[in-house]
């Protein structure tokens, strides 16, 4: 399972040991980890702190890049009609979907696409499961850009990403209106834990 064909993986570090985390990445053939956390440190899991993680990963020939423009925990975007992304009942997802329409997000996305060209890359946040993390919205944008995305769950467990069913293509931007029946792609995942 190698990502040099344009596939980008996603992973959440959760409470894993660094050895387990690296084993999952290596099993997938990942050689570049793109960190999309807003707060790149953890009191309970210091092995994933920004001041130590890059050096640790380098020991395993995995490059680390911190891409703060794609970090989660975004405030409301007052200039955007709140109905644009009202499919997301969870306010943090709604806020992130709104943020994804902004120039800083789009610049971060372009940087992610450029840096992952020809490299087996994974994006990482702290949340273990993709459907409870802003990685799911980043994955939608990657799919929209023509990339394949695979969510890494465990060493031998992964899940191909599918674009959120209600996503509406508005040029380079996606909208998630409530009640949309404009299925972007047939057979997409349901709205889990929103």
CATH number for the domain including 68? 3.90.190
Name the least confident of 77-81, 96-100, 145-149.
77-81
Banded model confidence at residue 86, pLDDT cuts 50, 70, 90: very high
Tokens, residue 75? 């405030």
Position with higher pLDDT, 32 vs 6? 32
Whether residue 182 lies inside any domain: the answer is no
Which residues does 81 contact at the CB level (< 8 Å), separation at least 6? none
Provide the domain count of the chain. Answer: 1
Q: Return the pLDDT at 165.
A: 94
Q: Return the pLDDT at 6.
A: 85
Tokens, residue 152? 């890494």
pLDDT above 80: residue 141 = yes
| 135/36 Cα distance (integer angstroms) | 8
| Mean per-residue pLDDT, 25-50 | 96
pLDDT above 80: residue 126 = yes
Whether residue 160 lies inside any domain: the answer is yes
Whether residue 2 lies inside any domain: the answer is no
Q: Return the pLDDT at 180.
A: 63
Q: Return the pLDDT at 181.
A: 55
Whether residue 53 lies inside any domain: the answer is yes
Q: What is the mean pLDDT of the chain?
A: 91
pLDDT above 60: residue 190 = no
Whether residue 125 lies inside any domain: the answer is yes
Banded model confidence at residue 186, pLDDT cuts 50, 70, 90: very low
Give the residue from 191, 141, 131 showing the smallest Cα distance to 166: 191
Whether residue 172 lies inside any domain: the answer is no
Query: Which domain range does residue 144 map to?
Result: 8-78+90-164
Whether residue 176 lies inside any domain: the answer is no
Whether residue 170 lies inside any domain: the answer is no
């Amino acid at each position: 399972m190698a990502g040099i064909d344009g596939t980008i993986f996603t992973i959440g570090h959760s409470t894993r040991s660094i050895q387990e985390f690296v084993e999952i990445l290596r099993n997938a053939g990942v050689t570049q980890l793109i960190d999309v956390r807003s707060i790149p440190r953890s009191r309970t899991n210091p092995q994933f702190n920004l001041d130590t993680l890059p050096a640790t990963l380098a020991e395993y020939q995995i490059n680390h890049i911190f891409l703060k423009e794609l970090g989660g925990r975004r405030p409301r975007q007052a200039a955007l009609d709140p109905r644009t992304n009202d499919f997301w009942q969870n306010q943090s997802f709604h806020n992130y979907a709104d943020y994804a329409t902004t120039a800083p997000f789009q610049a971060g996305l372009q940087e992610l696409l450029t840096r992952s060209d020809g490299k087996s890359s994974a994006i990482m946040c702290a949340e273990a499961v993709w459907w409870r993390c802003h990685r799911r919205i980043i994955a939608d944008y990657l799919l929209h850009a023509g990339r394949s995305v695979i969510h890494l769950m465990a060493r031998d467990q992964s899940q191909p990403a599918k674009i959120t069913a209600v996503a509406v293509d508005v040029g380079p931007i996606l909208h998630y209106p409530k009640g949309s029946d404009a299925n972007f792609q047939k057979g997409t995942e349901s709205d889990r834990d929103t």
